[in-house]
Amino acid sequence: MNELPVSWCNAVTLRCSRRSYDKSRPIGKDAGEKLQRVCGEFRPFSSSRVEFVAEPPDDIFSRALGFYGNIKNAPSFLAFIGDMSDGNVQEKMGYTGEGIILEATSLGLGTCWVALTYRSKSALSMLKLKDGEKLLAVSPVGYTMEAWTFGENVFSAFGANRKRKPLAGMVSGLDNSHRPLWAEKAVEAARLAPSATNRQPWAFHIGLASITVSISGSSPQYNVSKRLDCGIAMLHIELGALSCGITGKWELLKQAQVARFTADRP
Ligand SMILES: Cc1cc2nc3c(=O)[nH]c(=O)nc-3n(C[C@H](O)[C@H](O)[C@H](O)COP(=O)(O)O)c2cc1C
Same-domain status, 211 and 246: yes
**Probe target for ligand 1 pocket from 112, 136, 192, with the most ligand atoms within 8 Å of CB:** 112
- Looking at residue 63, which CATH number applies to its domain? 3.40.109.10
Tell how far the Cα of 117 is from the centroid of ligand 1, in angstroms: 10
The count of C-alpha atoms lying within 13 angstroms of the C-alpha of 18, restricted to the half-sphere facing its C-beta, is 25
Same-domain status, 86 and 181: no
Is the residue at 230 inside a domain? yes
Domains contained in the chain, number: 2
- Which candidate, 90, 250, 96, 118, places its Cα nearest to that of 186? 250
Listed residues 89, 119, 154: the one ending a domain: 154
Q: Residue of the nearest CA to atom 8 in ligand 1?
A: 116
Listed residues 107, 134, 154: the one ending a domain: 154
Q: Which amino acid is at 120?
A: S
Same-domain status, 52 and 76: yes
Is the residue at 159 inside a domain? no
Same-domain status, 49 and 67: yes
Cα 138–Cα 141–Cα 145 angle in degrees, nearest 5: 130
* pLDDT of 178: 93
Tell how far the Cα of 75 is from the centroid of ligand 1, in angstroms: 19
Angle between helices 226-242 and 89-106 (to 10 degrees): 50
Q: Which amino acid is at 37?
A: R
Q: Which domain holds residue 174?
A: 164-263
Instruction: Please list the ranges in the chain whose pLDDT falls under 50.
Output: 154-161
Same-domain status, 179 and 50: no
Same-domain status, 195 and 87: no
pLDDT digits (tens, 9 = 90+) for 9-20: 999 999 999 999
* pLDDT of 156: 47
Listed residues 115, 132, 154: the one ending a domain: 154
| 3 state SS of 187 | helix
* pLDDT of 108: 96
Same-domain status, 138 and 36: yes
* pLDDT of 266: 73
Same-domain status, 111 and 29: yes
- Looking at residue 218, which CATH number applies to its domain? 3.40.109.30
Cα 74–Cα 76–Cα 79 angle in degrees, nearest 5: 115
Is the residue at 74 inside a domain? yes
Rounded alpha-carbon distances, angstroms, from residue 1 to 4, 8, 45, 222: 7, 13, 12, 33
Model pTM score: 0.95
| Burial bucket for residue 204 (CB in 10 Å: 0-12, 13-18, 19+) | buried
Q: Check if 16 has its Cβ closer than 6 Å to any atom of ligand 1.
A: yes
Same-domain status, 14 and 134: yes
